[in-house]
Structure 1
Amino acid sequence: KTVERVYDRAQFAQAWFANKYGTAYIIAKDLNRFLAVKERAAEFYSMPPGPGDEERAKLIESQLLFNERVELIEVSGPWARARAAEQESLLADKKTLAPYEGWLRLESLAFSLPSPGTAVVKAKTVKAGALELSLGVKLRLIDGPGGAKAFLPGGPALSLAEKDFNRLPQKAAQADLRPGILKAARFFLGDKYYWGGRSAWGIDCSGLVNLAYRAWGLELPRNADDQFAASRSVSLENLKPADLIFSAEASKPGFINHVMLYAGGGNLIEATGDTNSVREISFAEKFGADFKKARNGMVAGGKKIFFRKVIN
């Protein structure tokens, strides 16, 4: 017999996703869940963007890290609609958390067996062969005589240095946990603010909080309002470093649109579009109010301010 057609890898993947034929699909019909991101970070859009950079920037919802799991919903040309299994957001009922839905490039995905990560990158970036891994990337490690090796989707097993990751589940002492979260957040100081960013190469306010906590084994929802819902109120007197400060417009107190990390000493760390940067500043400079007199639910600088915590 002659070969009727030879597909390259991208063509084969697109045909398989669209038609779902073959022995593998017959054996395991839920292979849409056997997918992970194979790039260092993949943009996640509310809808497939057009060619213009301006339109593209407006449509970014988040970023998916390398090895982050997704569930395929549908394919449209070079785009895949998917659920981000490791990024949750509240549904319209404001009670139920569910995976974020959006669009990413089909070529960003690779087949990967679903297995829980046993380690998370705690350095801002780590070189893994030809790939650079971001803070917050989760990997399944196998310990051996030559040290820990990570098995990567779409690639070979690679060795990693113990100093660059935290083991999961993370059992850090309280004395290490809060400083570790703040250290992770401070990696980004001076970086440019990036709407929808959630990686070492671009970050927004809730992305910063999400990754800083994730690097120390604590999972928070993706967006600021959802992080607010997942946290608990705390008084100023009991506010500790790495706790969270949220704000809403005073005219819309029920709509949380910003989150910051309390850095101690009356300071906070934030990724903000106000200065288009990640910065550490005093509460007084941010809100024009005396931190020592601050109270939960107070209004200052046109913002309604809330103190919250995740860690006991």
Structure 2
Amino acid sequence: MTVSDPPLPDPRTHAYDPQGGWAEETLRGRLPERDWTWVTARPARAGNARLSLRARPDALAPQVTEALPGEALEVLREEGGWARVRTVGDGYLGWARMEGILPGEAPSGETLTVGALRAHAHAGPKVSQPLVAELCLGARLTRGPGDVVTESGRRWVPVALPDGTGAWVGEGVLSPTQAADVADLALRLLDTPYVWGGRSAWGLDCSGLTGLAYGWAGRTLPRDADQQQALLTPVETPGRGDLAFFPGHVGLMLDGRRMVHANATHMRVTVDTLGEGDYGARLAGSLTGFGRWTR
């Protein structure tokens, strides 16, 4: 009788490269024996712009996910201007350009989280001032020195962007997006463009939408649809806020049949009804199950 080898850790969340012969230190004892070079993760964070994480250290490689401005990262390896990084929030790995990464943890000071779906930072406390950064729901800033400035009835907050650059944001940018439940927030994102690997209101993929909606409600989901399905509790009859799963796809149910999802058929976030019309029929025919958050 042969004893089979234990399955290898998921390479989407565990960093190892059999071809290059390196692996993260936490995988000692979990990989086949060989002369591994062990690497230790060090803290970092995304810079002022959304950071694209790619499947390979190549600008033409597919984007697998993205880190939001100021988001906490771990850097595991550097190679030719690229870094193998992990997003701390959902533990997902990808290759990113070094120039978009800031070393170390966030600076001390009051952390401000962007609450608007999409927003900008300005060079000064006035709407006519130049834009200096593109922001999104969940981006992290630091409170800057000085007082709030009122201009034409608008209140402007001094902030520091992730790289320390001073900027100003309208106070409303920091007010949390209001949503009664995860379905309400997902509906706020209707017509957002479909972007493979996207995680923000500037562009989303299917699991990016569900992860964003759940995350804003304080429920952290894994990055990919199959990982989300494995985490949630299967249910036969879906309710509002449950997730619907298909091969390589996920949507968020609004009721027993209607679903909001980021999809490449319409190339945007839409609402579709399972079993209705040609597309709805195809969705219903490929449905693999529903999942509910019960944690």
Same-fold status (TM-score > 0.5): yes
Equivalences for residues 117-136 of structure 1 within 5 A: 120-129=113-122, 130-136=132-138
Q: 1:276 to 1:32 in 2, by over 3 A?
A: same
Q: Cα distance, 1:68 vs. partner?
A: 1.0
- Tell me what 2:253 maps to: 262
Q: Deviations over 1:147-170 (max 9, x none)?
A: 876543212455555644467xx9
Q: Does 1:306 align with 2:265?
A: no
Q: Does 1:205 align with 2:206?
A: yes
Partner amino acid, structure 1, of 2:287: K
Q: Deviations over 1:232-282 (max 9, x none)?
A: 22342xx3322211123xxxxxxxx21101123731111112333321121
Q: 1:142 to 1:217 in 2, by over 3 A?
A: farther
Partner amino acid, structure 1, of 2:58: P
Partner amino acid, structure 2, of 1:262: M
Q: 1:203 to 1:160 in 2, by over 3 A?
A: same
Q: CA contact under 8 A between 2:53 and 2:63: conserved in structure 1?
A: yes
- Structure 1 residue runs of 5 or longer lacking an equivalent are 1-29, 51-55, 88-98, 249-256, 290-298
Q: Cα distance, 1:222 vs. partner?
A: 0.7
**Which of 98, 102, 107 is residue 106 of structure 1 equivalent to?**
98
Q: CA contact under 8 A between 2:48 and 2:163: conserved in structure 1?
A: no
Match of 2:89, SS? strand
**Which of 156, 164, 172 is residue 155 of structure 1 equivalent to?**
164
Q: Deviations over 1:68-126 (max 9, x none)?
A: 11111222222112222122xxxxxxxxxxx2222101000123534799654332212
Q: CA contact under 8 A between 1:232 and 1:309: conserved in structure 2?
A: yes
Q: CA contact under 8 A between 2:72 and 2:105: conserved in structure 1?
A: no
Question: Which runs of 4 or more aligned residues in structure 1 lie more than 6 Å from their structure 2 counterparts after TM superposition?
Answer: 142-145
Match of 2:275, SS? helix
**Which of 281, 285, 291 is residue 288 of structure 1 equivalent to?**
281
Counterpart CA distance in 2 for 1:38 and 1:228 is 31
Q: TM-score under structure 1 normalisation?
A: 0.64
Counterpart CA distance in 2 for 1:270 and 1:192 is 11
Q: Deviations over 1:189-227 (max 9, x none)?
A: 223322111122221100111112223332211111111
Q: TM-score under structure 2 normalisation?
A: 0.68
**Amino-acid identity (%):** 29
Q: CA contact under 8 A between 1:42 and 1:108: conserved in structure 2?
A: yes
Counterpart CA distance in 1 for 2:147 and 2:186 is 33
